[in-house]
Structure 1
Amino acid sequence: MKKIVPLLIILIVSYFFSKPFFNSGYFPTHDGEWAIVRLVEMQREIKNGQIPPRMSDYLNHGYGYPLFSYTYPFPYYLGMFFRLFKIGYTDTIKILFILSVFLSGIFMYLFAKKLSGIEAGVFSSILYITAPYRLVNLYIRGSLGESLSMVIFPLLLYISLFYIEKPNIKYSLLLSLTLAILILTHNVMALLFFPIFISFIIFFSNINLRKVNLFLLRNLLLSIILGLGLSAFFFIPAILEKQYILLSQVKLANLQDNFIHFKDFVALSWNWGSKPFFQLGWVHILALISSICVIVFVKKARSKGDLPVFLYLLMILSILILFTNNISAIFWKIPPLSWIDFPWRILAIISFFISLFSIFLVYDKFTRILGYFIVLLSLIVNINYVKPISYLSKPDEYYLTNDDTTTSMGELMPLWVKTPPQNRWTDKVQVESGSAKINNLIYNSKSITFNVLSDTDSIIRVNTIFFPGWHYTANGNNIDLNYSNPLGVVKLTLSKGDYIIKGVFQNTRVREWSNNISLVSIFIFLGLLGKFYLDNKFRFQHDEKNN
Structure 2
Amino acid sequence: MKVSKAVLLIFLLSLLPLLSNFITPSLPHTHDGAVHLSRMAAYFKALRDGHILPRWAGDLNYGYGLPLFNFIYHTPYLVSSIFLSLGLSLVMTFKLVISISYILAGVFMYLFARSFFKNEKIAFLVAVFYQFAPFRLVELLMRGSFGELYTYTLLPLTLYTLTKFFAEARVRYFILAAASTGLLIISHNSISLMFFGILVLFILIFSPNKRVSLFCYLALLLGLLLSAFYWIPALAEHRYTYGDLFMKDLFRTHFPPLYQLILPNPFNDVRLQTGGIPVQIGFFHVLALAAALLVRKKLAIFCLVITGVAVFFMTKLSLPLWEHLSFLRQFQFSWRLLALINFSSALAAASFFQLSIFKKQWVYPLVVILVIVSTAYYWHPAEGFDKIADEGQFWNYPLNTTYFGETDVIWSAGPALAYPSAQAEVIDGKGTVNNFSKKTQVHAYSVSARTDVRLVDHTQYFPGWRVYVDGAKVPIQFQDANWRGQLTFAIPRGEHRVKVSFEETPLRLAADSLSIATLGTLGLSYLLWRNKKV
TM-score of the two chains, using structure 2 as the length reference: 0.91
User: Which of 372, 377, 385 is the matching residue for 1:391?
Assistant: 385
1:227-258: per-residue Cα shift (whole Å, max 9, x none)?
A: 11111111111111112111244326522222
Residues 240-286 of structure 1 deviation map (CA, whole Å, 9 limit, x = unaligned)? 11121112443265222222210121263355995422111123223
Deviations 1:17-36 (A, max 9, x none): 12222232212211112112
Aligned to 1:374: 367
Identity of aligned residues (%): 26
Within the candidate set 314, 328, 352, 2:304 is matched to 314
Maintained 8 Å contact 2:62/2:419: yes
C-alpha distance in structure 1 between counterparts of 2:531 and 2:274, whole Å = 56
Give distance in 2, aligned partners of 1:42 and 1:360: 44
One of 495, 500, 506 as aligned partner of 1:498:
495
Deviation at 1:407, TM superposition (A): 0.8
Cα distance in structure 2, aligned partners of 1:507 and 1:194:
27
CA pair 446-112 structure 1, distance change in 2 beyond 3 A:
same
8 Å contact kept, 2:154–2:180: yes
- After superposition, the Cα gap between the structure-2 partners of 1:124 and 1:336, relative to the gap in structure 1 and judged at 3 Å, is same
Larger radius of gyration: 1
Tell me what 2:149 maps to: 147
* Distance in structure 2 (CA, Å) of the matches to 1:419 and 1:309: 49
Cα distance change of structure 1 residues 273 and 403 upon mapping to structure 2, 3 Å threshold: farther
Q: CA deviation at 1:397?
A: 2.7
1:41 aligns with 2:42: yes
Relative to structure 2, which stretch is displaced further, 507-516 or 445-454? Answer: 445-454
Residue aligning to 1:526: 523
Of 223, 228, 235, which residue of structure 2 is paired with 1:239?
235
Alignment deviations for residues 139-192 of structure 1 (CA, whole Å, 9 cap, x no partner): 221111111111122222222212222333112111101110100111211211
Write out per-residue CA displacement over residues 64-95 of structure 1, whole angstroms, 9 at most, x where no aligned residue: 11011000011111222223432222212211
Residues 434 and 457, structure 1, Cα contact 8 Å, conserved in 2: yes
Matches within 5 A, 1:327-346: 327-332=317-322, 333-334=324-325, 336-346=327-337
Structure 1 residues 198, 335: CA separation in 2 closer, same or farther (over 3 Å shift)? farther
Alpha-carbon shift at residue 313 of structure 1 (Å): 1.9
Distance in 1, matches of 2:331 and 2:289, equals 28
Secondary structure, counterpart of 1:518 in structure 2:
helix
User: Is 2:443–2:500's contact at 8 Å kept on the other side of the alignment?
Assistant: yes
Describe the SS at the equivalent of 1:375: helix
**Inter-CA distance 274–427: structure 2 relative to 1 (3 Å threshold):** farther
CA contact (8 A) 2:112 2:156 kept: yes
Of 230-239 and 1-10, deviating more is 1-10
Match of 1:264 in 2: 260
Q: Following the alignment from structure 1 to structure 2, what is the Cα–Cα distance between the partners of residues 517 and 419?
A: 33
Secondary structure of 2:385 counterpart: coil
State the alpha-carbon separation in 2 of the partners of residues 4 and 163 from structure 1.
22
- CA distance in structure 2 between the aligned counterparts of 1:118 and 1:78, rounded to whole angstroms: 30
Matched, 1:400 2:391: no
Does the 8 A contact of 2:60 with 2:396 survive in 1? Answer: no
Query: Which piece of structure 1 moves more, 341-350 or 481-490?
Result: 481-490
In structure 1, C-alpha distance between the alignment counterparts of 2:269 and 2:453, rounded to whole Å: 59
For 2:47, the aligned partner's letter is I
Q: CA 1:45–1:358 in 2, change beyond 3 Å: closer, same or farther?
A: same
Distance apart, 1:431 and its partner CA: 2.5
| Alignment-mate amino acid for residue 390 of structure 1 | G
Other-structure match for 1:178: 180
Tell me the matched-pair count: 519
Corresponding residue SS for 2:246: coil
Structure 2: how far apart are the matches of 1:457 and 1:171?
63
Distance 1:341 1:199 in 2: 24
Q: Is the 8 A contact 1:421 1:487 kept in 2?
A: no
TM-score scaled by structure 1? 0.89
Structure 1 residue 60 displacement after superposition: 0.6
Structure 1 partner of 2:458 = 463
Q: Does 1:18 align with 2:9?
A: no
Q: How far off its partner does 1:335 sit? A: 5.6
Quote the Cα distance in structure 1 between the aligned partners of 2:7 and 2:406: 42
Stretch deviating more after TM superposition (27-36 or 241-250) = 241-250
In structure 2, C-alpha distance between the alignment counterparts of 1:190 and 1:31, rounded to whole Å: 19
Matches within 5 A, 1:83-102: 83-102=84-103
Residue 226 of structure 1, aligned match among 218, 222, 243: 222
Distance in 1, Cα, partners of 2:131 & 2:264: 19
* Deviations 1:167-219, CA, capped at 9 Å, x for gaps: 331121111011101001112112112222111112112xxx4xxx3322332
What is the DSSP-based 3-state SS (H/G/I as helix, E as strand, rest coil) of the residue aligned with 1:323? helix
Q: Which amino acid aligns with 2:226?
A: L
RMSD: 2.3
Equivalent AA in structure 2 for residue 94 of structure 1: K
One-letter amino acid of the counterpart of residue 458, structure 2? N
Tell me, what secondary structure is at the counterpart of 1:361? helix
The answer as to whether partners of 1:123 and 1:372 remain within 8 angstroms in 2 is no
Q: 1:309 to 1:27 in 2, by over 3 A?
A: closer
1:289 aligns with 2:287: no
Corresponding residue number in structure 1 for 2:474:
479
Q: Do 2:186 and 2:230's aligned partners in 1 also have CA atoms closer than 8 Å?
A: yes
> Who is 1:303 aligned against?
none
Map 1:58-73 → 2, pairs under 5 A:
58-73=59-74
Q: In the alignment, is residue 137 of structure 1 matched against residue 139 of structure 2?
A: yes
For residues 439-497 of structure 1, what are the alpha-carbon distances to aligned partners after superposition, in whole Å with 9 as ceiling and x for unaligned?
11122121112122222343322111111111112233332222213541112234433
Task: State the distance in 2 between where 1:100 and 1:527 align.
Answer: 28
Letter in 2 for 1:244: Y
Kindly state the Cα deviation for residue 292 of structure 1 after the two structures are TM-superposed. 4.1
Name the stretch that deviates more: 80-89 or 43-52.
80-89
Partner of 2:77: 76
Residues 1:119 and 2:109 aligned together: no
Q: Distance in 2 between matches of 1:533 and 1:314?
A: 36
Q: Which range moved further: 50-59 or 78-87?
A: 78-87
Distance in 2 (alpha carbons) for counterparts of 1:353 and 1:65: 38
The answer on whether the counterparts of 1:43 and 1:80 sit within 8 Å (CA) in structure 2 is yes
CA distance in 2, matches of 1:482, 1:144: 37
Q: 1:439 is paired with a residue of what secondary structure? A: strand
* 8 Å Cα contact 1:120/1:360 also seen in 2: no
**Which residue matches 2:349?**
358
Pick closer, same or farther for the CA change 1:163–1:289 going to 2, 3 Å: same
State the distance in 2 between where 1:138 and 1:331 align. Answer: 29
Rounded Cα–Cα distance in structure 1 between residues aligned with 2:281 and 2:365: 19
Amino acid at match of 1:170: R
Deviation at 1:415, TM superposition (A): 0.2
Worse-superposed segment, 526-535 or 116-125: 526-535
Please, which runs of 5 or more residues in structure 2 have no aligned partner? none
